[in-house]
Amino acid sequence: MQYQHINVPEQGQNITIDERGDWQIPLEPIIAYIDGDGVGLDVMPVMRNVVNRAVEHCYKTARKIHWMQVYNGEQAAKLYDGDWFPQETINAVRTCKIAIKGPLTTPLGGGFRSLNVALRQEMDLFVNMRTIKGFSALPSPLKNPFLTNITVLRDSSEDVYSGIEWQAGSIESEKMLDFLCEEMGVTRLRFTQECGIGIKNISKEGSERLVRYAINYALKNNSNSLTIVHKGNVLKFTDGAFKRWGFALAKKEFKAINHQNGRWLLIERSDQEPLIIKEVIADNMLQQCLMHPEQFDVVATTNQNGDFLADMLSAQVGGVGIMPAANLNNEVAFFEPTHGTFERIAGQNKANPSSSILSAVLMLKFMKWDKAAILIENALEKTFASSQVTFDLAPNKDDSNNSISNNSITLSCTDFAQKVIEHF
């Protein structure tokens, strides 16, 4: 395929998906990347260097990633006459199937509400994945942060984040209030003057595809349990339906049977213990993740619940700034750091590349290049433990939760990445 500004590598092969839906990863795949904006230009090149060195260390010349740069955000606007979101980027990512990106800014004074949201919506990346794993050397409010090792699979296509709402006092809001009260017989609105209205939409199709993805993920990754998190005790026809549709799908498509406790399900496996499918009310889940995070493995939940849960879990193990993420569907996998562009330190070689590096680890695990993924993950943990860190992880003398030594050495972005490589 010919592109206007994208240069396709001369070597390497595209990833394919077979008739059964299994991803076929060649030994030398072409993977798209977007450097992004702000500190993306600092962290993304060092991430690629860490990945390249790990792949070479583990597989010698047998495997290699061929990187293909594509554009979004400020870089795209410069190349494509002000177009922040070029269509050829979407086409290239769909062809490559796997991509990794840095943080993106959003145009001021109009344009997309969020380039990240626009990417997810344009490509229907309905699964937001956050893998939250504790590192014992990082600051944490928990005594044993390493007990936290939870993958949150959150729907990103529905719920209150779909953006269906009307401003208080607007004509549209007044029409909706009139319709609810006069046509639908709603009597439980305590205040109807100056009242903003939003719609929470949860569909059977959206719920089923998220839970189906989560069950397949849990089975393929030999997980002990899948927990469906919801607020169905109050929101019976949205969150409650999400849970009911999810359980029904597990029984119909995966032959799940009732657990002996009468609340959960089991999916039998021939070579290991059954996969347990649990259900937990959202507010109780937040409490349990603080007190006993070790009881959870994979989580499937709705959009807003997943947002709250993933950020809380990240705070337990070092903060959102070092957490990886992915946005996925059955045909495209997009990996990304969870932090923003941090314009105030952009270009200073100070930014922490850990989130980008761990997003690459998540990508390598998705590709089943586990040897390289585990190598990087272990090297990163050794680097944290050596108290050689970027400025944001350097201990504050008043911070009793920070286990990094007060004699720590503050490294630049590139020097930190080099220390990771030295621990291979």
For the annotated catalytic residues, the residue numbers are 161, 231, 283, 307
Nearest to 293 by CA among 276, 277, 305, 310: 310
152 CB-near residues (< 8 Å, 6+ apart): 128, 129, 130, 131, 132, 299, 301, 306, 309, 310, 313
* Residue 390 and residue 410 in contact, taking contact as beta carbons nearer than 8 Å: yes
Return d(Cα 33, Cα 101) in angstroms, integer. 5
